[in-house]
Amino acid sequence: MKIRTVGVIGSGLMGSGIAQVSAQAGHRTMILEVSRELLDKGMQRIEGFLRAGVEKEKLTAETRDRILSLLKGTTDIKDLADCDLILEAITENLQAKRDLFAKLDRLCGPSTIFASNTSSLSITEMMTATSRPSRFLGLHFFNPVPLMKLVEVIRTIVTAEEVEAAALEFVRATGKTPIRTSDRTGFIVNRLLVPYILDSIRALENGVGTIEEIDAGMRLGCGHPMGPFTLLDFVGLDTTYYIAGIMFDEFKEARFAPPPLLKRMVLAGMLGRKTGKGFYDYSQSPPVPLNHLTA
C-alpha cells in the first residue's frame, strides 16, 4: 500500500513539523486543528521555517511554494475522511487520544492507517478505541521535526506487516531514518534519554557541577549537540516531568522517578524556553544559568 494523502491532527510544535515534512516528501497533507487561530499559528510556523530555509539557501522558492501548495488546514474532521495515513500529535492525554481515534474510526475507510506521535503513552491502549488494531501504530518524531533525522516506528503485537512497511516507506520518503521498535513505554530513545536527563538533575542537586559545567561536559566530552539542561529547557520541563511520571508508573524503577527539583520548577512555572526560564534565564543573551536553584 502506498501513502499519498496524509492527515495531521494538531498544529503545535510537533504537528506542524510533521505536516511540513510530509508535504516536503510530496504528500498532500491536511492539518486539523480545533480553532482557526491555532491553525494559523501552526501554518505561520511552517511558513517561517520554509522562509528561513530559502534565506539560508537550503531550498529554492519554487520548492517552498510546492510544499505550501500541498498543505491545507481545516477545523472540520470530515476533511480527513479520505486520507491514507492519519497522524495524531495532540496533547499527551490518553482519553483525548482514544476519543479522537474512535471518531476517526467511524469516519475513515477501513484501509486508512492510524498513527500516534505519542512519546510515552501506550499505542495498544489507543488502538483498542478503534475497530482497526492491525492498521494502528506509533510514529514518534523528534523536536525540531524538520531538522531531526530519526523517527521511531512502533508496532503493537497486532500491527499488520504491510502497515509497518507502508509507515517505514513514509518515513524514508521524508528523508528521515526509521528505527523499528515495539510498544513498550518510552520506546528506544526516551527509555535511554529520560533517565540520563533525570540523572543530570540529580548530579546538579548533589553538587557534582554547575549547570554550565554539566552541560559543557556532555557537549564537549560526548559530542552531544546540547547539554542536558539546555535540552531540558528546549524540550520543556513539564513535558519531561510528564513523560518521566508515565515511565515511573510503568516500570517502578528509581531511574525514571522525577527528581524533586524538577517537580518544584514545573510547579513554579519554570518550564524552559517557552516560559523564558528553566535551568537558564532566556531574558538575556546568552541565556544565564540559574545556579541558585540548588542553594
Give residues in contact with ligand 3HC (CB under 6 A): 49, 52-53, 56, 58, 119, 142-144, 147-148, 190, 225-226, 231, 235, 239
- Contacts by 164-171, CB closer than 8 A, 24 or more apart: 164/137, 166/1, 166/2, 166/3, 166/85, 166/113, 167/85, 167/113, 167/115, 167/137, 167/139, 169/2, 169/3, 170/3, 170/6, 170/22, 170/25, 170/27, 170/85, 170/139, 171/139
Closest CB to ligand 3HC among 52 and 267?
52
DSSP H or E segment with residue 180 = strand 177-182
Task: Report the C-alpha gap between 92 and 118 in whole angstroms.
Answer: 7
Partners of 150 in the β-ladder: 177
Which residue among the candidates 119, 120, 122, 200 is catalytic per the annotation? 119
Closest CB to ligand 3HC among 112 and 120?
120
Please say if 88 is a catalytic residue.
no
Q: Which three cell numbers stand for residue 112?
A: 486508512
Closest CB to ligand 3HC among 36 and 58?
58
Helix, strand, or coil here: 261? helix
Q: How far is the CB of 25 from ligand 3HC (least distance, A)?
A: 15
Please say if 152 is a catalytic residue.
yes
Closest CB to ligand 3HC among 26 and 36?
26
Query: How many other C-beta atoms can be found within 10 angstroms of the C-beta atom of residue 51?
Result: 12
* Contact assessment for residue 217 and residue 211, using Cβ atoms and an 8 Å cutoff: no
Closest CB to ligand 3HC among 53 and 209?
53
Q: How far is the CB of 109 from ligand 3HC (least distance, A)?
A: 30
Which residue among the candidates 22, 190, 200, 212 is catalytic per the annotation? 190
Q: Which three cell numbers stand for residue 235?
A: 524540550
Report how far apart, in Å, the C-alpha atoms of 37 and of each of 43, 44, 96, 112 are: 10, 11, 20, 28
Place of cell 500500500: 1
Q: How far is the CB of 51 from ligand 3HC (least distance, A)?
A: 8
Q: How far is the CB of 29 from ligand 3HC (least distance, A)?
A: 17
Closest CB to ligand 3HC among 53 and 217?
53
- Contacts by 211-214, CB closer than 8 A, 24 or more apart: 211/279, 211/280, 211/289, 211/290, 211/291, 211/293, 212/289
Which residue among the candidates 88, 120, 140, 200 is catalytic per the annotation? 140
Q: How far is the CB of 262 from ligand 3HC (least distance, A)?
A: 14
Place of cell 517505514: 168
Please say if 134 is a catalytic residue.
no
Which residue among the candidates 33, 88, 152, 212 is catalytic per the annotation? 152
Task: Indicate the residue type of 182.
Answer: S
Please say if 119 is a catalytic residue.
yes
Q: Which three cell numbers stand for residue 124?
A: 495498544
Q: How far is the CB of 95 from ligand 3HC (least distance, A)?
A: 20
- Give the active site residues: 119, 140, 152, 190
